[in-house]
């Protein structure tokens, strides 16, 4: 067992200051009367000026283990997550081998447990080997010790409408959800790497049009309605997707959606220098899309921010733009980007940040121990934020093994001060505990 902790004077979800006593892994007491909770015999964290949030939950992380341990491991990815304020991450299935069996899911889950700084919840593949043809053992993964509830072929889209329909139907039996990487491969093939528009036309890069995402989102929304099942839209990136989501919500269809930090801030213009750091799938979009995504996150049309943290070994990014790997880092900078884009502008308050980075992702993923209110008896998964901080991102100061960090050199607002997983600090004063 660990020592009790008294978090003193932090602003709960940006509201009233309170003292929070953490003991035995849960919130033992909350008091708004200074001095009411005794500091005797407990470890005190001075949270004056800090904001206390429920531990962040990432619906979309690539930890690369097994298979690409030169890019990231469960250990290094867990450390990056904790430093980013996360207490739980969903580890995508596109590893080598693919997480498409109960055994593979349990292995990832167990690796996460051994590191023990965030809860690593495996995402199961929808189809065997991510091939898009036959369903993976969804039920066995759900019944495994890993208790998989989120299934995704992420990196690839489940193209076949029949396969998608069956997957949606099948996971109803155990409350599963399909997280779809929406990309119609006939409209945006494997070579597509730049938002299709004036910039792709000028640069001569193969275009990845927004409509290639939107037609799949629209199709899947109709399949969710038809099957009465739940679909989750991974990394929504266009204004058109937002429109489809609004319509689906208005019809009561069970669809949820996430947006990445990079799609909330970076635009296609970053590609003008052909720097593969900015090569990501779906691609960075124009400012109009970015604006629509911000609005949708603020008004709840988009439920969650998810990082799509995608580490890559240096040499996999040192190819010509079209040949380089897709993806960018995100775990350590997500909170800062959200603070910069959404909080500074007044579009979200800190309770809103808790909603999109903790409550909603935990609910979507079915993680009962995360994203809970900060109340007596709840699991003590907490993140303390310094809202006044301003951080210049240094890619070499990362816990990740990879350096494909698009935020390098940029200034972001706010900083993670402390992360607590079930009563145990994993990060203190911005450093691994």
Partner 1 sequence: MRKHLLSVDDLSLDDVNTLFTTAAEMHDVQRREVKKLPALRGRTVINLFFEDSTRTRSSFELAGKWLSADTINLTGKGSSASKGESLRDTVLTVASMGVDALVIRHSASGACHQVAEWVDCAVVNAGDGTHEHPTQALLDAYTLVRRLGTLEGKHVVLVGDLTHSRVFRSNVGLLGRLGARVTVVAPPTLMPSGAEAWAAASGFALSYDLDEVLPKADAVMMLRVQRERMSGGFFPTAREYTVGYGLTRDRLATLGEEVPICHPGPMNRGLEIAADAADAAQSLILEQVSSGVAVRMSVLYHLLAGEGASA
What are the residues binding partner 1 (CB under 8 A)? 196-205, 207, 209, 273-276, 315-316, 318-324
Residue 204: CB minimum distance to partner 1, A: 4
- The smaller minimum CB distance to partner 1, of residues 228 and 273, is found at 273
CA distances to 219, 221, 244, 335 from 250, rounded to whole Å, are 16, 12, 10, 30
- The smaller minimum CB distance to partner 1, of residues 9 and 210, is found at 210
Tally helices (H) and strands (E) across the chain.
Answer: 12, 19
CB 306 within 8 A of CB 297: no
CB 53 within 8 A of CB 354: yes
Is the alpha carbon torsion for 281, 175, 144, 361 positive or negative?
positive
- The smaller minimum CB distance to partner 1, of residues 191 and 300, is found at 191
Q: Which of the residues 58, 153, 289, 308 is marked catalytic?
A: 308
Q: Is 299 a known active-site residue?
A: no
Tell the residue number behind the tokens 């994203």, with chain if given. 371
Residue 99: CB minimum distance to partner 1, A: 25
Q: Tokens for 363, please give them.
A: 């609910």
- The smaller minimum CB distance to partner 1, of residues 175 and 273, is found at 273
- The smaller minimum CB distance to partner 1, of residues 203 and 432, is found at 203
Q: Tokens for 431, please give them.
A: 């450093």
User: In the sheet where 177-180 sits, what is the strand order?
Assistant: 150-151, 177-180, 231-233, 255-259, 304-305
* Interatomic CA distance for residues 111 and 252, integer angstroms: 38
Residue 309: CB minimum distance to partner 1, A: 22
Q: Tokens for 3, please give them.
A: 């020592």
Residue 316: CB minimum distance to partner 1, A: 8
- DSSP letters, 336-403, are HHHIIIIITTTS--HHHHHIIIIIHHHHHHT-TTSS--S-TTSB--EEEEEEEEEEE--GGG-SSS--
* Interatomic CA distance for residues 195 and 183, integer angstroms: 12
Angle at 64 between CA 62 and CA 65, to 5 degrees: 130
For residue 45, give the 3-state DSSP assignment: strand
Residue 395: CB minimum distance to partner 1, A: 17
- Name the nearest CA neighbour of 92 among 120, 123, 57: 123
- The smaller minimum CB distance to partner 1, of residues 145 and 319, is found at 319
Per DSSP, 21 falls in state: E
- The smaller minimum CB distance to partner 1, of residues 275 and 394, is found at 275
Instruction: Give, to the nearest 10 degrees, the angle between helix 287-299 and helix 239-250.
Output: 30
Residue 263 CB coordination number (10 Å): 26
Q: Tokens for 224, please give them.
A: 């969710």
Residue 70: CB minimum distance to partner 1, A: 13
Residue 206: CB minimum distance to partner 1, A: 8
Beta-bridge partner residues of 10: 18
114: phi then psi, degrees, rounded to nearest 5 = -65, -40
CB 189 within 8 A of CB 163: no
Residue 69: CB minimum distance to partner 1, A: 18
- The smaller minimum CB distance to partner 1, of residues 205 and 244, is found at 205
Q: Catalytic amino acids?
A: 308
């Amino acid at each position: 067992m660990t020592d009790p902790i008294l978090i003193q004077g932090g602003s709960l979800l940006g509201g009233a200051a309170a003292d929070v006593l953490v003991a035995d892994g849960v919130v033992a007491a909350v008091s708004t009367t200074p001095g009411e909770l005794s500091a005797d015999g407990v470890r005190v964290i001075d949270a004056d000026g800090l904001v206390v949030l429920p531990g962040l939950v990432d619906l979309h992380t690539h930890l690369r283990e097994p298979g690409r341990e030169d890019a990231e491991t469960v250990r290094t990815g867990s450390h990056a997550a904790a430093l980013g304020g996360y207490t739980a991450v969903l580890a995508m299935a596109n590893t080598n081998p693919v997480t498409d069996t109960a055994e593979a899911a349990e292995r990832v889950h167990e690796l996460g447990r051994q590191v023990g700084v965030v809860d690593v919840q495996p995402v199961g593949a929808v189809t065997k080997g991510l091939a898009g043809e036959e369903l993976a053992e969804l039920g066995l993964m759900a019944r495994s010790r890993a208790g998989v509830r989120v299934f995704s072929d992420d990196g690839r889209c489940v193209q076949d409408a029949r396969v998608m329909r069956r997957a949606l139907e099948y996971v109803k039996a155990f409350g599963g959800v399909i997280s779809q990487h929406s990309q119609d491969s006939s409209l945006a093939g494997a070579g597509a790497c730049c938002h299709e528009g004036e910039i792709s036309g000028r640069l001569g890069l193969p275009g990845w049009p927004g409509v290639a995402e939107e037609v799949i989102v629209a199709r899947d929304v109709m399949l969710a309605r038809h099957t009465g099942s739940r679909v989750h839209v991974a990394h929504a990136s266009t204004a058109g997707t937002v429109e489809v989501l609004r319509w689906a919500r208005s019809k009561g269809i069970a669809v949820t959606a996430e947006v990445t930090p990079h799609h909330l801030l970076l635009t296609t213009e970053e590609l003008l220098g052909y720097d593969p750091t900015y090569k990501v799938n779906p691609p960075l979009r124009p400012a109009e899309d970015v604006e629509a995504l911000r609005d949708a996150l603020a008004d709840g049309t988009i439920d969650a921010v998810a990082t799509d943290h995608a580490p890559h070994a240096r040499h996999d990014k040192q190819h010509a733009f079209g040949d380089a790997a897709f993806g960018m880092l995100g775990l350590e900078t997500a909170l800062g980007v959200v603070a910069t884009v959404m909080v500074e502008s007044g579009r979200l308050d800190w309770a809103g940040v808790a909603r999109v980075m903790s409550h909603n992702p935990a609910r979507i993923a079915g993680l009962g121990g995360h994203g809970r209110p900060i109340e007596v008896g709840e699991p003590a998964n907490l993140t303390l934020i310094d809202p006044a901080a301003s951080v210049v991102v240094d890619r070499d100061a990362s816990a990740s093994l990879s350096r494909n960090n698009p935020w390098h050199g940029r200034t972001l607002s706010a900083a993670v001060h402390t992360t607590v997983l079930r009563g145990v600090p994993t990060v203190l004063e911005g450093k691994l505990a």
